[in-house]
Amino acid sequence: MELVCPAGSLPAFKAALNAGANAIYVGFKDDTNARHFTGLNFNDRQAQKALALARDSGVKLYVAINTYPQPTGWSRWQAAVDRAVELGADALIIADMGLMTYVKEKYPQQNIHLSVQGSSTNAASLKFYKEEFDIKRAVLPRVLATKQVEQLCEKSPVDLEVFGFGSLCIMVEGRCVLSSYITGESPNTCGVCSPAKHVRWEESANSRRSRLNNVLIDEYQHKENASYPTLCKGRFKVDENTYHALEQPTSLSTLEIIPQLARMGIKAIKIEGRQRSPAYVEQVVRVWREALDAFKQNGERFSVSPQWLEQLDKVSEGQQTSLGPYSRPWQ
Amino acid sequence: MTLLTRSLSKTHNLIGKPVLARIHKLIPFRLKKKIIEEVLNRAFKQVIDDGDLEFLKGKVIVLNLSDLNESIFIGWNSSLQVLPRGEYDVEIRGDLDEFVTLALRKEDPDTLFFQRRICIQGDTELGLAVKNLIDSVDLEELPGAIRKGLSITETLYPYLMPSGAR
Ligand code: SF4
């Protein structure tokens, strides 16, 4: 299985290369990708450098252009495609059908991967994307249970990629507009959930509070671990109880089901986190490389090493990992 | 932890840091300003050349080294500048050790933040942008002297800060 790793900067790119990535995905410095933060992502010079490094080590480079073009910015999305093709990206990760049409008409040879933001969860939808846009691969949303992924693998006309590790973002993934309820912005429209300009951290003697556009998301007591201030992971008062009513701050980790995923025929595993640092990329990719190599060597006798878990838990949101929806028997 | 590590780290905490805090108070502002500006502008040269620091215009960032009781005010006006104390937009606060850990890329900044070892107050977007810019500096391309400094710190790191590698 191909290990697909994130890079939000050149040093992160190098970290992924050194730690054993098979493919690395990047974005440009604008709202054409779903990690649009100041100071993050690649300008043309950096992208070219990344490509040269990738070619030297036989690693693939993918460019994420995975947000939905807004009426005022269509030319920006076209330009991003033009730049990525000119660069020589091995694939473009796209969610929007209009943009896919643009690629197919102008660059019929260019590989397209369907982004997770496209939220394709059944065989009919995958078939549609294959027929209309000739996508080569689809990234499955983190909402499916193992059984469902297995059924999809049997029927899918294209290669499938699943998330292996990263912050859990689960609300009808790819279609979540929860954050726009308080900020007017959401991942698909503006490239960010909980935009930093709306985030405020308040430190006091014994607690830390997070606010999103002034709405209190959570309050952490002394020494309690904090998490990303997304609306879905806040603590809310429901009746008389205050708790994580929607989702716990935790990270998804599917290390333990590597053999299952391989058996099903999953072709690639994606690590989330272009917004994270080179140190994170290095630590997570290294663990996954070791795990995939161990699986290759030991096959079905593969077992998860406690050190791997410890490493991953440390950099996880909420300092814990779970199998997320993969483990939900009721789906 | 070996005995050597333990004693070195103890020395660092009991003597090193207080001494550092003292020395640091003795250096006149003008000299400190000069040294820090020199290092910053060299370290961020590529980022500056790419025009990626323009968003800092008119903003003031404070690095607060809480254990040394020292705050460094940084601004931008065609080059990075150390400013006298005053109003600011965002404050990044933590112990010296945490900043060294970050400079050496030993730990992920988000992890330190979630673990409450680093605090960010004020304009979060600005703080995040600064974090991203620091992450985008390619250590391999830093000028020789700075690289050397980092590599010496790196060698000493496990001895001085065994806790840093938590
Ligand atoms: S609110 Fe939560 S589920 Fe929705 S996009 Fe943000 S992180 Fe994802």
> What is the pLDDT at residue A281?
96
Does A39 sit within 8 Å of B52, measured CB to CB? yes
Alpha-carbon gap, residue A295 to A16, rounded angstroms: 20
Cβ proximity of A156 and A145 under 8 Å: no
Distance A34 CA to ligand 1 centre (A): 12
Closest Cα to residue A204, out of B71, B119, B91? B119
Q: Which of B45, B110, B147 is most worth mutating to test chain A (most A CB atoms within 10 A of its CB)?
A: B110
Contact yes or no for A148/A102 (Cβ under 8 A): no
The closest CB to that of B119, out of A12, A203, A225, belongs to A203
* String of DSSP letters for B87-125: --SEEEEE-HHHHHHHHTT-S-HHHHHHTTSEEEEE-HH
Is the pLDDT at B125 greater than 70? The verdict is: yes
Pocket test for ligand 1, best of A115, A143, A231, A244 (most atoms within 8 A of CB): A231
Percent of chain A with pLDDT over 90: 62
Q: What is the mean pLDDT of residues B26-51?
A: 88
Q: Specify the pLDDT at position A331.
A: 45
CATH number corresponding to B3-160 = 3.30.1050.10
For A10, the closest of B52, B111, B136 (CB atoms) is B136
Put simply, whether A137 touches B (Cβ < 8 Å) is no
Question: Model-level pTM?
Answer: 0.88
- Here the tokens at position B127 are 């703080």
Query: Strand locations in chain B, DSSP E?
Result: 61-65, 70-76, 80-83, 90-94, 118-122
Q: What percent of chain A stands above pLDDT 70?
A: 95
Report the C-alpha gap between B97 and B17 in whole angstroms. Answer: 10
| A120-164 pLDDT tens trace | 999 999 999 999 999 999 999 887 888 889 999 999 999 999 999
User: How do the domains of chain A map onto residue ranges?
Assistant: 2-168+250-324, 180-243
Helix/strand number for chain A, H first, E second: 11, 15
Task: Give, in order, the Cα–Cα distances in Å from A291 to each of A114, A323, B79.
Answer: 26, 16, 45
Given a cut of 50, whether residue B13 has pLDDT beyond it is: yes
Give A2-168+250-324's CATH code, choosing from 3.40.50.720, 3.20.20.70, 3.30.565.10, 3.30.930.10.
3.20.20.70
- Give every residue of chain A whose pLDDT is below 50, as ranges: 331
Burial profile A160-184: b = 16 or more Cβ within 10 angstroms, e = fewer: bbbbbbbbbbbbebbebebbbebbe
Give rounded-to-5 percent helix, strand, coil for chain B: 60, 15, 25
Among protein residues, the one whose CA lies closest to atom 7 of ligand 1: A169
pLDDT per position as a tens digit, B73-123? 999 998 999 999 999 999 999 998 898 888 888 888 888 888 888 999 999
Distance CA A4, CA A138 (A): 13
Q: Which atom of ligand 1 is nearest to the CA of A170?
A: 3
Nearest CA, atom 8, ligand 1: A169
Instruction: Give this complex's ipTM.
Output: 0.81
Identify which of B109, B116, B138 has the shortest CB distance to residue A277.
B109
| Predicted local distance difference test score (pLDDT) of residue B2 | 64
Residue A126 pLDDT: 97
Kindly state the tokens that stand for B58.
């008119």
Supply the pLDDT for residue B162. 54
Chain mean position to CA A193? 13
Of B106, B113, B139, the CB nearest to A11: B139
Distance of CA A279 to the CA centre of its chain: 17
Residue with tokens 């900020």: A183
Residue B4 has what pLDDT? 67
Residue entry with tokens 């076209």: A78
**Can you give the pLDDT at residue B84?**
93
Using alpha carbons, list the distances in angstroms from residue A193 to A97, A173, A306. 22, 12, 32
Paired tokens of B110: 């988000």
Q: What is the mean pLDDT of chain B?
A: 84
The residue whose CA is least distant from atom 2 of ligand 1 is A232
Chain A residues closer than 8 Å to B138 by CB = 10-11, 14
Distance from CA of A105 to the nearest CA of B (A): 33
Residue A62: phi and psi, rounded to 5, are -110, 145
Substitution target in A45, A277, A319 with the highest count of B β-carbons within 10 Å is: A277
**Rounded to whole angstroms, how far apart are CA atoms A319 and A322?**
10
Give me the pLDDT at residue A170, please: 65
A6 touches chain B (CB under 8 A): no
Residue with CA nearest ligand 1 atom 4: A176
Nearest-Cα residue of chain B relative to residue A316? B111
* Span A219-241, pLDDT tens digits: 998 888 888 888 888 999 999 89
All residues of chain A having their beta carbon less than 8 Å from the beta carbon of residue B90 are none
Q: Does B160 touch chain A (CB under 8 A)?
A: no
Report the atom number in ligand 1 closest to the C-alpha of A186. 5
**Residues of chain B found within 8 Å of residue A28, distances taken between Cβ atoms:** none
- Predicted confidence at residue A219, as pLDDT, reads 93
Q: Which residues line ligand 1 (CB under 6 A)?
A: A 169-171, 176, 178-179, 187, 193, 230-232
Helix, strand, coil percentages in chain A from 3-state DSSP, rounded to 5: 40, 20, 40
Residue B164 clears pLDDT 50, i.e. is over it: no
